[in-house]
Structures are given as C-alpha cells and as structure tokens.
Amino acid sequence: MRASIYEYMKVGIVHFKAFPEVVNGTGPVVETLQRIAEDDFFTAVEVGWIRDIKQRMEAARLLRIAHLEVCYACQPAIFSQKLNLNSLEPGERKRAIKQVFNCLKEASDLGAVAVRIPAGKDPGAERREEAKKLLVDSLSQICEYAREMGNPAITLKIFDRDIDKESLIGHFCDAFDIARQLCPSYPKFGLLADLSHFPLLREKPEEALPLVKDYLTAFHIGNCVMKDRRHPIYGDLQPRFGVEDGEIDTPQVSAYFRLLADMGLIGPEKRPVLSAEVRPLLPGETSELILANAKRVIKEAWALA
C-alpha cells in the first residue's frame, strides 16, 4: 500500500512487554515510558498496572506532553493475581470485577481512551456456556462502571484456548457470542484480534475475522512458538518477530495488514490502534533491540502490503 501507515492506523507498542521489568506495576515505569514517548514512530502506547500514584501521575503528564494515544491493559493485574471474570465461584468473580474497576480508575488517571480486558480460564465444554453468561454479566458491570470513569472503550482480547492462557475467549465464534450480546447496550464495547494468537487457536485470520468483523475495534501483532512443546519459549510468550521456530515474521504481518485494509477494518475513516506486543526473552535481546526489530518489521510489512 502506497499511503502512509499513519493514514490507516495508530501505531502502538505494549509498554510492559517491551520493558518486562515493569509488568508488575513497579520499577522504572516513567523512565521506560519516556523512551517510547521520545520515539515518534509510535503514535499510541498500551500501558498496564502502575501501582504508585506518584508514578502514575508522572506517567500521565509524560504521555500528555508526548501526544500519545493511551490504552490501558488489565492483563498484568489480572494474570498476576490469577483473577477470573467468568469464575463459577461468585467470590472469585467479584474479586476480579473489583480489580477491573480499580484498573478503570487507573486508566482514567492516565487519560486512556480504551481498556483491554481478558476473559478468565475456560472451564471445559460442559460448563462453557454457563461461563460465557457469567462473563457477559461481568463485562456489563464493567461497561456500566466505565461510563463513570471517562467512558473509555472496553475491549475484550481474544486469547488461546488450550496451549498457554487457556482462555474462555478463546475461539472467534465464542468472541462473537459475547460481542453480539453486549454491543447493543454498550456500543463502545469491542474485540481485539492478535495476529500471534491465530496459530495458537489453529485458526486463520481470513476465516476468523469475517465472523467478528462488526465488533473488531483494535489489533495486536506479535509472534509465538507452538510446534514444539519442548521449545524454551513455547506458548504465548510474545517473542520478537522472526525468532527461530516462530510463526510470525514480515510476510505474515504484511498479509495481516492487507487483510485488515481489504476488510475495511483499518483506513482513514477508522484508524484503530494496532500495537506490537513483543518482548526480550533470549540471550542478547534487549528492549532496544526488540523495539528496533518491531519497527523494521512494521515498516517493511507495510511497504509490501
């Protein structure tokens, strides 16, 4: 495609993946965010848990100065505490909802326009429909509370079902069931499709995306290793693009860009946030190298799309 990529999307990076030392909401949050903020390649950033209020306010000020679009990801807070929004145990589900409420407050502090949320664990085929009903109820409560917290978009991220995260959502048909129930009442609810999760779900983008086309509002690109369970970075660990034995490199990213454009999911009328979710994992890899890797892949993939 000859047009500038910035005419089609807001190019983002997931902060706590590129700099994994801050994933638990502590550490050099502001210093690492500044390194992203000073790089004008990125026009959006996805941030997570920032526990210290002073750090959060410093981060918010930095992000405003940098003119970055901010999205907030609940995954660090939810995954680290093993919380489950579709838990069959009422107390556990209540704790998960309360944590997301706290995340919405943090997102408001940071000026986030969207909040990313993962579903909980899949309970198995026998109780899956029950868990989906509970997830819809939890997300309804979250969408209601979001209206009091600046009304950010609420985005459900689609994960793998049986390899790593073992998430209820899960396959795209299940994501469709959730979105079609919520969107009539909550038009700012949507879905996030991650390129790195298609291999883990054994689904193809060109077959899965049309099913949920009307509900897709955000996108991730990343990589995974899944063919060999003995591989040291097997699963949903977000390695760099082109990692040995990985599934995603420049050709796959380019094809994804072309598919999204052909489906009208990216373009001048929409310009959604599309973020790279990659992190340093192997010897010799640094945050700076991982960021450079992602930027080169995005530039070349767009040129070839």
Contacts 24+ apart (CB under 8 A), 102-105: 102/77, 103/49, 103/72, 103/74, 103/77, 104/142, 104/145, 104/146, 104/149, 104/152, 105/149
Give the predicted TM-score (pTM) of the model: 0.97
- Reported as a single tens digit per residue, the pLDDT across 192-208 is 999 999 999 999 999 99
Q: Which domains does the chain have, with CATH numbers?
A: 10-220 (3.20.20.150)
Task: Give just the sign of the alpha carbon dihedral 133, 134, 138, 141.
Answer: positive
- Reported as a single tens digit per residue, the pLDDT across 253-285 is 999 999 999 999 999 999 999 999 999 999 999
C-alpha distances in angstroms, 264 versus 20, 210, 213, 271?
Answer: 33, 11, 9, 10
Measure CA 62 to chain center.
Answer: 22
**Residue 2 confidence (pLDDT) above 80:** no
Average pLDDT on 220-242 reads: 96
- What is the chain's alpha carbon radius of gyration, rounded to the nearest angstrom? 18
**What pLDDT is recorded for position 194?**
98
C-alpha distances in angstroms, 281 versus 14, 28, 227, 288?
Answer: 15, 19, 18, 13
- Reported as a single tens digit per residue, the pLDDT across 66-100 is 999 999 999 999 999 999 999 999 999 999 999 99
Tell how strand 10-14 and strand 44-47 pair up: parallel
β-bridge partners, 10: 273
- Reported as a single tens digit per residue, the pLDDT across 8-42 is 999 999 999 999 999 999 999 999 999 999 999 99
DSSP string, 106-168: HHHHHT-SEEEEE--B---GGGHHHHHHHHHHHHHHHHHHHTTTT--EEEEEP--SSSSS-BT
**Residue 1 confidence (pLDDT) above 90:** no
